[in-house]
């Protein structure tokens, strides 16, 4: 087969990875959780854990960012079989978009039906505060605008043009809202549109203003490719953005976006976010 007719992801590779994992775990996870920057603590909540560092998993890429442990954690959360990605793969690390989304295809082959994505994001919506948790209702795939869509190239013709208007599952969002109400944490829950830029630079003032005009409420450097592939596989998706900083939109402001602030806010809110996710999982 010539290279031009080959999918950029190889079913056989994903299958090998999935089979390798399935032969080593007693569980069959139905929920996958991708832990964003500093949010890997979610995986520590699982019971009866089986842990696989990425470097030990056949065909799996390796994580390079600080604050990312880089391992798959299988276990039970509120009685549900889950797999957590502690550390994700970012395009800005130099991985291509196919590699970034590789784990999602593996999750599908493991039997996962629901994908929960979390990330740390900059708040664009002026009404958002640092520490807010935004339920993602939609996304803007900015790298996709620039041709970096993980589904580009030869692909399964049965799902050549997947729908994205229903990317974020309404029933899951509804359950999550219920969970937030039961927990009494709705005061810092927001709903909005997540926009992905590749990074690794934070946004300029002019860029933030453009994104606000486009209707984005939060901006970050991840999540969207994984969601696109999850939908391609037929997974139901729920996403949360922790608003770790407010973007600068004023030329007179002395504030500067920095990774330390992001990690600091994450530490402050990480347990609340974990509680919300585990409560949601318990309701699935």
Ligand X SMILES: *[C@@H]1O[C@H](CO)[C@@H](O)[C@H](O)[C@H]1NC(C)=O
In whole angstroms, the minimum distance from the beta carbon of 222 to ligand X comes to: 17
Determine if 10 is a binding residue for ligand X (CB under 6 A): no
Does 203 belong to an annotated binding site?
Answer: yes
Determine if 59 is a binding residue for ligand X (CB under 6 A): no
Who contacts 117 (Cβ-Cβ below 8 Å, separation ≥6)? 33, 34, 36, 136, 223, 226, 227, 237, 238, 239, 240
Phi, psi dihedrals of residue 31, rounded to the nearest 5°:
-125, 130
Spatial distance between the Cα atoms of 216 and 234, rounded to a whole number of angstroms: 25
**Residue 176: closest CA among 234, 217, 231, 135:** 135
Q: Which stretch binds ligand X (CB under 6 A): 91-99, 129-137, 240-248, 266-274?
A: 91-99
Evaluate whether 200 touches 92 at the Cβ level (below 8 Å): yes
Evaluate whether 94 touches 222 at the Cβ level (below 8 Å): no
Residue number with CB closer to ligand X (155 or 212): 155
Spatial distance between the Cα atoms of 81 and 128, rounded to a whole number of angstroms: 34
59 in catalytic set: no
Determine if 118 is a binding residue for ligand X (CB under 6 A): no
222 in catalytic set: yes
Number of residues counted as binding ligand X (CB under 6 A): 4
Measured from the Cβ of residue 24, the count of other Cβ atoms closer than 10 Å reads 12
Determine if 17 is a binding residue for ligand X (CB under 6 A): no
Spatial distance between the Cα atoms of 204 and 217, rounded to a whole number of angstroms: 16
221 in catalytic set: yes
In whole angstroms, the minimum distance from the beta carbon of 115 to ligand X comes to: 21
Q: Which stretch binds ligand X (CB under 6 A): 95-103, 139-147, 168-176, 270-278?
A: 95-103
Residue number with CB closer to ligand X (98 or 119): 98
Q: Among all residues, whose Cβ is closest to ligand X?
A: 96
Q: Which stretch binds ligand X (CB under 6 A): 64-72, 93-101, 127-135, 269-277?
A: 93-101
120 in catalytic set: yes
Evaluate whether 196 touches 92 at the Cβ level (below 8 Å): no
- Residues 4-18 as b/e (b if ≥16 CB within 10 A, e otherwise) read eeeebbeeeebeebb
Which residue in the set 99, 118, 125, 244 belongs to the binding site for ligand X (CB under 6 A)?
A: 99
Which residue in the set 30, 59, 64, 96 belongs to the binding site for ligand X (CB under 6 A)?
A: 96
Q: Which stretch binds ligand X (CB under 6 A): 96-104, 212-220, 221-229, 276-284?
A: 96-104
Which residue in the set 98, 141, 266, 270 belongs to the binding site for ligand X (CB under 6 A)?
A: 98
95 in catalytic set: no
Burial label for 204, CB within 10 Å (0-12, 13-18, 19+), is exposed
The beta-strand segments (E) located in the chain are 31-35, 47-53, 71-77, 80-86, 114-123, 133-141, 189-196, 218-220, 236-246
Which residues lie near ligand X (CB under 6 A)?
A: 8, 96, 98-99
Residue ranges of the annotated binding site for phosphate are 37, 68, 88-90, 120, 222
Residue ranges of the annotated binding site for a purine D-ribonucleoside are 203, 245
Active site residues: 37, 68, 90, 92-93, 120, 221-222, 245, 259
């Amino acid at each position: 087969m010539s290279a031009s007719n080959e999918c950029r992801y190889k079913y056989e590779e994903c299958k090998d990875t999935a089979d390798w994992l399935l032969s080593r775990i007693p569980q069959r996870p139905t929920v996958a959780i991708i832990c964003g920057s500093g949010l890997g603590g979610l995986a520590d909540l699982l019971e009866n854990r089986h842990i696989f560092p990425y470097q030990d998993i056949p065909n799996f890429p390796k994580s390079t960012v600080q604050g990312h442990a880089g391992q798959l954690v299988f276990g039970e959360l509120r009685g549900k079989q889950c797999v957590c990605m502690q550390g994700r793969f970012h395009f800005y690390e130099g991985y291509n978009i196919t590699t970034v989304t590789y784990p999602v295809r593996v999750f599908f082959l493991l039997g996962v039906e629901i994908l929960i994505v979390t990330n740390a994001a900059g708040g664009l919506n002026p009404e958002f505060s640092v520490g807010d948790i935004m339920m993602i209702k939609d996304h803007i795939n900015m790298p996709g605008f620039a041709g970096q869509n993980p589904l580009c190239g030869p692909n399964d013709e049965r799902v050549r043009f997947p729908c994205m208007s229903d990317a974020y599952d309404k029933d899951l969002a509804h359950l999550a809202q219920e969970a937030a109400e039961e927990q009494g944490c709705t005061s810092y829950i927001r709903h909005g549109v997540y926009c992905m830029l590749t990074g690794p630079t934070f946004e300029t003032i002019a860029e933030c203003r453009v994104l606000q005009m486009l209707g984005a409420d939060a901006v970050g450097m991840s999540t969207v490719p994984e969601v696109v592939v999850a939908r391609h596989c037929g997974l139901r998706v729920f996403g949360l953005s922790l608003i770790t900083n407010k973007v600068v939109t004023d030329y007179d402001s002395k504030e500067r976006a920095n990774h330390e602030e992001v990690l600091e806010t994450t530490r402050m809110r990480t347990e609340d976010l974990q509680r919300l996710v585990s409560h949601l999982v318990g309701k699935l």
